[in-house]
Structure formats: structure tokens, C-alpha cells
Structure 1
């Protein structure tokens, strides 16, 4: 006898459908301790743990999952896109919370999805820090764009003073001189006196920047006066960027500290891959979690959404592009890391970089497809290194490539 609890999780309440073969029982619970205890009471009626299935709905489903894990109940947590596709395949007719709970139970009975492997709390904390890091990165990009827009009205030339106007020293410079008139009112020596206290600035560098700043300010033709609100906006965005950057560095330090304290050397293993600096390695670890919980590298492909889609209808059976049903942040990090690996390959040989470079001349596939194929290879490499507790070795990787070919 198969017993399935299908749960449609919302923000405040959740609809539950208990499916025992063809018999169903439906009820609603609140997403708090009283509601979860009511669910627990219904689960404990059965001597054998029932199957529990629900969609991953971010913070809402995470509370339910944590409660069930605390009572040693395994859960099937489906990606919403996967669940929708399976429910639309002959199951869903009307869209209500109750029908969704029922259909979730039905597709679990039909498809027998495996329960999610429980991860240690440290991996949840790593992932939370990684998501915060990602949000801060988006905020930084947004604040940079706003700062650039306002500077076009007050002192656009300041963006050419340094070669990379994206670090904390540059934002400190903008905060000091948000309008070209702020520079015109000062002598070069007065500007030098301010700049020499910047972190990493020598007296010679301070003199060079002060002189250039003065020249640019004299030639500048601003669209607004020194008393314009746009000048205040420039200072605001510069201050915000400095604080966002500090906060993001703090999240990264916390991630690294947690990863280094793990009872394994996963961070060290990931950092042994050419092109994997500490930031990339710790974020891959944070997003993928405990890699040992995956049965094979194909499961990781599905987890990050680079597994190929498939279309079947009658006699038609064709391969589609990648599903994009998985962890989008992990997919983005791994995709971008291919570029880092190819850059690092100039000094540190890597079979993944060689694969990417060998495929590049084939214009028929397109660079994105080649990059995704390289991500597949990277995922297999990461999985093999972690499972075997080995650091990356180019010669060993090449030997394994020859054995497979």
C-alpha cells in the first residue's frame, strides 16, 4: 500500500492531500507550530513513514522541510517547473491549492521521485550566505549604474582618472569630489593631502591622480551646478557602494570560514582546479552543497539545470536545449568559471580549457553550446575529485580522458 502526502505550500497556509491508493483525504494546515503539529499527527497514524512531496517555494517550503527533518521524515522537494510539467501531462485540469496538493501526490505515485538527501546545517548556512552575496552583487551593479548616470551631469571625467573605476578607493574619490567645482576650489597639494591616506596609495600615485583630477576638472562642462541635488545623489550612491562592498566581503569571509571548518577538504579540492579562485570555489560549494549526496554527476547536471530536455510525441523523439530547471545561481557561476579556467590555462594546464579551445573553431555549435558542454565536463571533474578526495592533477585528468575515448 502506497501512502503519499501531497502538500501545496503557500505563504500562510498549506493544503494537504493524503493519497492511499485511490482514496484521498484533504485538509488545510497553517504554516506554524500548531499547523505543522497537526500534519505530524496525521503522519504518525501510519507505522511506516509515508512519502511526502511538495514544491520548492523558497522560504515558505523551507520552514516545512526543516520541521519534517527534525522529526526524521524524508521529503521529495520538486522544482516548481518540473512539477508543473508533470502535472500538466494529463493531470491538471483546474488550478486550485487542493488540486495541486492532489496532483503532487498523484505524480509522486506515478513517477516515484527520490527523497531529497538531508544536508548538514552548515550547507544551508553556506547557501544562505551565497544568496545574500548574490543579492548584494545585484545591488552593487544597480548602484553603479545610478552613480554613472548622475556623474554624467556633475563630473563625468572623473571616471577616467583610474583605469578600473569599480573599487572602494574610486568610490571614496567620487565621494570627496562629486562635482568638478569641488576640485576647482582646491589646489593640487590639498587634493594630494586627502589622497595619500587612501589604502594602497603611495605619495607618487596620489600626486599623479591629483594632477590628472585637476586637469580634468578645469576642462569639465557640467550639466548642473555645485548646489544641485544631483551632487548629493552622487555622494549617496558612492557611500552606498562602499557599504555594499564591505557587506559583500563580510559574507564572503563568513562563507570561507564555514567551508574551511567542514570535516572534509572540499574547498581545497575545488581550489586545486585551475581558474578556481577562493571566491569561485566557495560559492560553487555553497550552491551545490554536499556533493557526496548526488549518486552521479548527471544528478548534478539536473540540479543546476544543464541536463538536456526531451520532446516526445507520436513518432517524434527529439533532444531540446538544456532544461534550466535547476539552481540558476550555480549554473551561472559554473558557466562563468569556464572563462576563468581558459584564462588560467595560460599558466596552468587544464583538460577542460583544452576541450573548450578545441571545440571553439566549430562555429556550427555556437559558443554557448560549447561552454555548456565544458560545464558538463567540469561537473564530472568536480564530482570525481570530491568522491575520490583528490586534488586536481592535469596528467591524471588526461589519462582518464584517454581511457574514456
Structure 2
């Protein structure tokens, strides 16, 4: 067996990094835990410990846990000095740590776990990939867009929650984020003021400062009626300070609109431009459910598809495959997915698969089988569809060709035919979705536990 030296490096964001060296010939650690910073002198000290007592041609391997961007500078320096560098996801380290030391967690343990991970599951870890600068720029932009989407969702949720107690909900009057709803929150949030102004006063105020000049005003009578209901419900405005609540909503709307403007700029001027520059073929968009934003995420994080020898390697990198548990001739089914790989890739694949199941017969068949025959709830079924969608992403990038929609027997179909097949053959009734959803399954499980407890109590009573 060829001797190798494996450096396990647990990276930190603010504290010192830690490293330890494993000799594969003796299967023993040949150094103590080394604390170091990302500077040439400290990294040379780590390399010196790894090469100590070995011939010059001995391969040196480094396994890093991907912590923030700390891996970038350390990985580049080691790679420049002839080290074969691998990155692992924190979840993979945590899984291996449970085997290595069940009841402890420290950087020293993580440093020891990483070399063992390379030896025990080399197919589950990937060589460090350094994207070109435009690809890294696209990665940053996609992450920024994801943060903006989260901020926008949080702002919208706060607006809905405020409407829920201040107006007892406004969804039956107008859509909560359209111009009339935003105008109301900025200028007329008190139901008492709305009742006092009446329909004529609101129409006049709207015409003096309309967010959209051609907006239909059929929502005004419903708003006045809703205001009367709120006044009758509360009786007195003192429990809710509407003037100060309106000031809060104005700030929240300003924040929301700022994020929305930044999102539009980021999509049109940065992400779409970089995506088209890096991938002018745009074949990924032929996959049902995949648009420009989703395709940009795949291009940004996958990079060179040739670094994955097979679709299994690719799926292992994404983390959208279940854990494996085998014993003899049996293999456990229904295990959780590994969740290794970039979170944004998994989230994007999940959202794309929720749409693809409506337009791709083969993915629709997977969804139908999971829901109708295996009793899975919606999230589990979509996770299974996500895996199949990612195999299409891999195939399209590997073959550099558009996706051709096919029926289950391999027959080529048009988009219209595919949609018809999905609706007619793979329609899941509402009662099945309700029966299989997480809440109902939890209720059934709690009921079974309660019945079991009652039977145990009755049995104990009969013995007494």
C-alpha cells in the first residue's frame, strides 16, 4: 500500500485553525493537534509536520471542512505547494464525528475526524474546485439574491401579521401586496379614519395621489365595509395605536420596496448577464421548472461538470440522495437525505421539482408513485422528484444539449402532450394530499400512541 499523509484541517472563522496529520501506512496520527493561522509561516509549519520522516515523493492530502470562505486562502496555498485538497460539508463531518466520539464535540475531534472521513468514504467527498472569477461572482450574486428573497418574505410576513390583528385580515378586500394595500398602509391605516372619510373621501384621496392611475376602484366599498366591521369589533381605537402602527408600516414598506428594487437590479443587471456570458447555450432552461434564476444557481455552483465522473457522484455532491444502511442482503428504505452540498442548490432543485412534476411525465410519475403508492407526504415526494430533476441537470450539462421530454416508455412528446399526460395519468386527488400531509400524519401517530397508552393502562388495571 502506498503511504500517504493526510492532513485533517478544521477551519475557524475567528479563532485559530487546527490541523493534525494521519499516516495511512500505520493508520496512526503522527503529529499533535497544530493550531495555526492562514499565513505562510504557519502553513509551512503544517506542511513540515506532514512531510516529516517521509520520502519527498510521498503524496500529501488535505481534507478541509468548508467553513465560510476560510477554506479559500488555506486551500489555494496548500494546492500551490503540491497538496491534493478536498472539501467536505459540515454535515458529513458531524455524521463521522458521531462514530468517532459519540459524546464529545471539539475542534480537536473534528481535526481527527476529517482524515478518517477521507479513508472511510472517499467517494463521498470532492476535490476542492476553484471556480473562475466570473463563476465566483455569479455565486456571490445568487447568494445575495437568496438573502434578498428571505428579507422580502420576512417583510411580507410582518405586513400580513399586522393586518391580521389591526384589520382582522385584509385578504378579502384586495391582494396584500398590490398598490391599494400599500397605499392604505401608508396613508389610511386607521379603520376609524376610513369610516369617517367614507367611499367618496377615499376615492378623492386616491385620485389626488394614485399609486397607479388606471387602478380599478371596486375595492373601496369592500374596504369601508371592512373598516366598519373592525370598528364594531374593537369599539375603541385605544388598544391599538394606529398612528404609530402606520409609521411602523411605512418603514416596513420602505424596506420591502428597497429590497424589491435591489432584487430587480441584481437579476437583470448582474445574474442574468453573468449567466448568459458563462452559459450562452441556455440548455438548462429546457428542463421544466428551470428558469434563468435557477439555471444561474446551477451554473454558479456546479462549475465544470466534468469534475463529476457519474451522476451518482454528482448527486452525492448535491446531498439529494438518501443515506445508505445495508446489512447482508437487505437495505433500509425511506432514510433521510444526506443534505451534503450547497444549501442553495438543494433549495433551488426542490422549488424547480415542485413545478417540473406538472410538466414532465417522468417526474410526475415519481410524484404520483410517492403519494399514491408509498404514502409519502408532499415534501417527501418533492424531494424524490428533486433527485430526478438533478439527474436531468447533470445530463444536460454533460451532453451539452437541450432536454427532450419523454413519456415513461421513452416516446418523445411535446410540451403540450407532456402537460396533458401529467394531468390525466398522474393527478393526485386532494384527499390523498390531505391524508398524507405532515400534520395529519402527526395526528395519526399521536392517536396511536394515546390508544397504546390507554390499552396499557387497561391491562395494568385488569391485573390489579
Structure 2 length as normaliser, TM-score?
Answer: 0.71
Instruction: For 2:254 and 2:186, locate their aligned partners in 1 and report how far apart those are by CA, in whole Å.
Output: 7
Instruction: For 1:18 and 1:368, locate their aligned partners in 2 and report how far apart those are by CA, in whole Å.
Output: 42
Task: Using the TM superposition, give the Cα deviation of residue 64 of structure 1 relative to its aligned residue in structure 2, in angstroms.
Answer: 2.9
Select the residue among 284, 287, 310 that pairs with 1:270. 284
Match of 1:85 in 2: 95
Residue by residue over 1:23-77, the C-alpha shift from the partner in whole angstroms, topping out at 9 and shown as x without a partner, is: 5123211245664565567679855661010212223334433554566754211
Q: Which runs of 5 or more residues in structure 1 are unaligned?
A: none
Task: Using the TM superposition, give the Cα deviation of residue 371 of structure 1 relative to its aligned residue in structure 2, in angstroms.
Answer: 2.7
Select the residue among 116, 141, 150 that pairs with 2:153. 141
* Deviation larger for 277-286 or 354-363: 354-363
Number of residues of Structure 1 aligned to a counterpart in Structure 2 = 390
Select the residue among 144, 150, 155 that pairs with 2:162. 150
Instruction: For 2:149 and 2:301, locate their aligned partners in 1 and report how far apart those are by CA, in whole Å.
Output: 16
Instruction: For 1:373 and 1:293, locate their aligned partners in 2 and report how far apart those are by CA, in whole Å.
Output: 24
Match of 1:124 in 2: 136
Instruction: For 2:118 and 2:370, locate their aligned partners in 1 and report how far apart those are by CA, in whole Å.
Output: 40
Task: Using the TM superposition, give the Cα deviation of residue 378 of structure 1 relative to its aligned residue in structure 2, in angstroms.
Answer: 1.4
Pair member with larger Rg: 2
Match of 1:5 in 2: 7
Task: Using the TM superposition, give the Cα deviation of residue 304 of structure 1 relative to its aligned residue in structure 2, in angstroms.
Answer: 2.5
Match of 2:275 in 1: 259
Match of 2:253 in 1: 238
Cα 1:212–1:71 shift into 2, 3 Å: farther
Select the residue among 54, 63, 81 that pairs with 1:53. 63
Contact 1:175 1:239 survives alignment (8 Å): no
Match of 1:293 in 2: 307
Q: Does 1:28 align with 2:35?
A: yes
Instruction: For 2:79 and 2:216, locate their aligned partners in 1 and report how far apart those are by CA, in whole Å.
Output: 58
Contact 1:76 1:115 survives alignment (8 Å): yes
Contact 2:284 2:295 survives alignment (8 Å): yes
Instruction: For 1:209 and 1:357, locate their aligned partners in 2 and report how far apart those are by CA, in whole Å.
Output: 41
Contact 1:305 1:322 survives alignment (8 Å): no
Contact 1:302 1:325 survives alignment (8 Å): no
Instruction: For 1:91 and 1:51, locate their aligned partners in 2 and report how far apart those are by CA, in whole Å.
Output: 23
Contact 2:93 2:110 survives alignment (8 Å): no
Residue by residue over 1:82-137, the C-alpha shift from the partner in whole angstroms, topping out at 9 and shown as x without a partner, is: 22323433567864433432332233245445523332233333232222222222
Q: Does 1:105 align with 2:115?
A: yes
Match of 2:447 in 1: none
Match of 2:17 in 1: 14
Cα 1:153–1:234 shift into 2, 3 Å: farther
Cα 1:212–1:103 shift into 2, 3 Å: closer
Instruction: For 1:133 and 1:295, locate their aligned partners in 2 and report how far apart those are by CA, in whole Å.
Output: 30
Instruction: For 1:400 and 1:116, locate their aligned partners in 2 and report how far apart those are by CA, in whole Å.
Output: 40
Contact 1:269 1:385 survives alignment (8 Å): yes
Match of 2:442 in 1: none
Task: Using the TM superposition, give the Cα deviation of residue 246 of structure 1 relative to its aligned residue in structure 2, in angstroms.
Answer: 2.0
Q: Does 1:229 align with 2:244?
A: yes
Instruction: For 1:279 and 1:244, locate their aligned partners in 2 and report how far apart those are by CA, in whole Å.
Output: 17
Cα 1:400–1:129 shift into 2, 3 Å: farther
Q: Which runs of 5 or more residues in structure 2 are unaligned?
A: 414-464
Structure 1 length as normaliser, TM-score?
Answer: 0.80
Cα 1:14–1:92 shift into 2, 3 Å: farther
Select the residue among 390, 404, 414 that pairs with 1:393. 404
Report matched runs for 1:358-397 at 5 Å: 360-362=371-373, 364-394=375-405
Instruction: For 2:89 and 2:288, locate their aligned partners in 1 and report how far apart those are by CA, in whole Å.
Output: 32
Contact 1:56 1:79 survives alignment (8 Å): yes
Contact 2:366 2:384 survives alignment (8 Å): no
Cα 1:152–1:335 shift into 2, 3 Å: closer
* Deviation larger for 392-401 or 119-128: 392-401
Residue by residue over 1:298-342, the C-alpha shift from the partner in whole angstroms, topping out at 9 and shown as x without a partner, is: 223222322121224688642342323223332232222223224
SS in 2 for 1:6: strand
Instruction: For 2:378 and 2:242, locate their aligned partners in 1 and report how far apart those are by CA, in whole Å.
Output: 50
Cα 1:350–1:202 shift into 2, 3 Å: farther
